[in-house]
Structure 1
Amino acid sequence: MHPNPAYRHADRALREDIVEQVGFGTVFASTPDGPRVAHVPIVSTRDGAIQFHMAKANGLARHLDGATALAVVNGPDTYVSARWYDEPNSHVPTWDYLAVEMEGPVRQMAEEGLRAHLEDLTGRHEARIADGEPWRMAEADPAHIDKLVRGITGFEMEVKAWRETIKLHQGKPERVRARIADRLDEQGAGAIAHLMRTLAS
């Protein structure tokens, strides 16, 4: 995480909201085969844990049960031009971004827990679809679901440490942040422009 304490945010609900809204991240761990990473859908249980799953053939899957791992979810990010400042010659370009790190011990789920996780994951994301009826796992051929479940492993991490970077030009004058947010809107980066207006101080 970025070392500047100005880019921290004490609101755990905000961290969990980022995890919820993004819904996808990376899990890292050291293994006997060397460092390994998996790119996975992530669900916050909202009670201090996250759940995720990956293919059994993933190089990380067979080492995670009982290990301590690091999960990272990245929120919106954007390049910021030095020309957007009052005095561009005294600034350099930078990058604004949101990221949440979660660290803790991992346990493998039993099949029943994995199936519940998949139902929850699917339900959460199907609910975001604006048109049509949300798809449910019950609509699929049970034999097909059984085959897919045999090929993946589910995990739950008890999050012992949350570390976030919310870098939105904190510490800059309000007029500077407002100008940068306007430029970001023009560039199509409306999500981070909105966060800059509402979260940065």
Structure 2
Amino acid sequence: MYIPPAFREDDLPAIHATMRAVRLANLVTATAAGLLCTPLPLFLDETEGEFGVLYGHLARANPQWREPAQGEALVLFTGPDAYVTPSWYATKQETGKVVPTWNYVAVHAYGTPEFFEDADRLLAVVTRLTNLHEGARERAWAVDDAPPAFIAAQLRGIVGLRLPIARLEGKRKMSQNRSEADRAGVRAGLAASEGEADRHVATLIPG
């Protein structure tokens, strides 16, 4: 990922926070069959390794886990984003020398994927993923709400993923390269948007 110095995010807790906030990541591997990509819900275990370990699962019928990765795998985490119109810049009124852009947050995680079929490990991953996404619900569904034989059959249809993170790239492009007046214009413009995502990005632009 191309990261100009103004947009580089090196703070590991901030990078991890972005990863945790992304509900659906994309696992990309280069294989002899070509590039393969699978959208996946993943969870991050920060207690393992220097940068953490990602866990999830793929459908057993998905060919990606059977095709050996050539080099590292890439996991894409796309955070908040918003279109920025030049009309919000104070510079537009001063010189007119402005163009549209996009503000966004992104993290790229690299590592060697490990796939596993052990039923106990699969159950642990599925349970942790379920608890993660059901936890905020008033009446949370739990894996053991379903009949054990049914869950066992479902586990036979998936393959687990463990990806120790070897390196991370973080990018936070939030108008840091613009003047204070331009940033204020972008904040105000996004804050007035009808889109919830735009209003969220407004809160991320530095003062």
User: Normalised by the size of structure 1, how large is the TM-score?
Assistant: 0.90
Runs of 4+ in 1 over 6 A off after TM superposition: none
The answer (yes or no) to whether the contact 1:106–1:157 under 8 Å persists in 2 is yes
How far 1:64 moved relative to its partner? 5.2
Out of 85, 102, 109, which is 1:102 matched to?
A: 109
Give the distance between the partners of 2:183 and 2:68, measured in 1 at CA. Answer: 42
Q: What amino acid maps onto 2:16 in structure 1?
A: E
Q: Secondary structure at the match of 2:56?
A: strand
Q: Return the offset for 1:65.
A: 7.7
Q: 1:195 aligns with which of 161, 179, 204?
A: 204
How far apart are residue 8 of structure 1 and its match?
A: 1.1
* Structure 1: distance between partners of 2:149 and 2:184: 55
Deviation at 1:66, TM superposition (A): 9.5
* Structure 1 position 115 matched with structure 2 position 127: no
Consecutive unaligned residues of structure 2, counting only runs of 5 or more, are none
Distance 1:111 1:127 in 2: 23
187-196 or 77-86: bigger deviation: 187-196
Residue 86 (str. 1) matches residue 95 (str. 2):
no
Counterpart mapping for 1:30-179 below 5 A: 30-47=30-47, 48-63=52-67, 68-88=72-92, 89-109=96-116, 110-129=118-137, 132-179=138-185
SS of equivalent to 1:90: coil
The whole-number CA distance in structure 1 between the counterparts of 2:42 and 2:101 is 28
The alignment's C-alpha RMSD in Å is 1.8
Q: Is the Cα contact below 8 Å between 1:126 and 1:134 reproduced in 2?
A: yes
Shift of 1:176: 1.9
Give the superposition deviation at 1:2: 2.7
| Counterpart Cα distance in 1 of 2:45 and 2:69 | 19
Q: Which runs of 5+ in 1 are unaligned?
A: none
Partner Cα distance (2:13, 2:90) in 1? 35
Identity of aligned residues (%): 29
Distance across 1 between alignment mates of 2:10 and 2:40: 26
CA displacement 1:118-139 (0-9 Å, x = unmatched): 111111111233xx22111110
Count of residues paired in the alignment: 196
